Amino acid sequence: MAEGFARAYGSDVLMAESAGLAPALTVSPLTHKVMLEKNIDLGHMYPRSLENLKGQFDLIINMSGEALPRGLKAPVEEWTVRDPIGEPEEVYREVRDQIEQRVMRLVLAMRNRKPPRSQESVSGSARVDSQRQPPRK
C-alpha cells in the first residue's frame, strides 16, 4: 500500500521501493480492492524481499515491527501499522487510510526540503506513466 501511495502522490520527490523481511507470494486481493477504491492499481506490484533490493536508499520505512538486518546504510523510520492479513475488509481500509496519511506527510516533508524546480519544469505539466514514474529527459 505504501509503495502505491508513494508512487501516486510523491513521484516528483521520491522513488519508492517496497520490500519485506518475509514477503508473501502475492499481494492480497483485499489489498488490491481497497487500493482501487483510492484509484490506485497495484496490479504491476508484487512482494519483494529486502535482500533483493539493490542500491542506496536515503530513507527506510519499517512497518514490520521487527528489527531490520544490520548493515543497512540509510536512516530507518519506524511506522507502527497493523497487519491486516486475515482481518475483515474494514480493517484493510483503516490500515490503508493510516498508511495514506503517513505517506502524504512524508511526501510533504520531502517537498519542503527539495530545492525549487527550474522554470522549464514548472512551465509544462508533468506527465506520469502507468507506474507513476516521471518521464525521462
10 found inside a domain? yes
Residue 61 · residue 98 · CB < 8 Å = no
136 found inside a domain? no
81 found inside a domain? yes
123 found inside a domain? no
38 found inside a domain? yes
Q: What span, in angstroms and rounded, lies between the C-alpha atoms of 51 and 59?
A: 16
121 found inside a domain? no
15 found inside a domain? yes
In tens, the pLDDT along 87-127 reads 999 999 999 999 999 999 999 999 998 555 543 344 444 44
Long-range contacts of 10-17 (CB under 8 A, 24+ apart): 10/103, 10/106, 10/107, 10/110, 10/111, 11/128, 11/132, 11/133, 11/134, 12/111, 12/126, 12/134, 13/107, 13/110, 13/111, 13/114, 14/106, 14/107, 14/110, 17/48, 17/53, 17/57
In tens, the pLDDT along 120-135 reads 344 444 444 445 555 5
| Number of domains present in the structure of the chain | 1
128 found inside a domain? no
Q: Residue 103 sits in a domain of what CATH number?
A: 3.40.50.2300
Specify the pLDDT at position 132: 54
Tell me the pLDDT band of 56, cut-offs 50, 70 and 90: confident
Residue-range definition of the domain harbouring residue 81: 2-115
In tens, the pLDDT along 23-53 reads 888 899 999 999 999 999 998 888 888 877 7
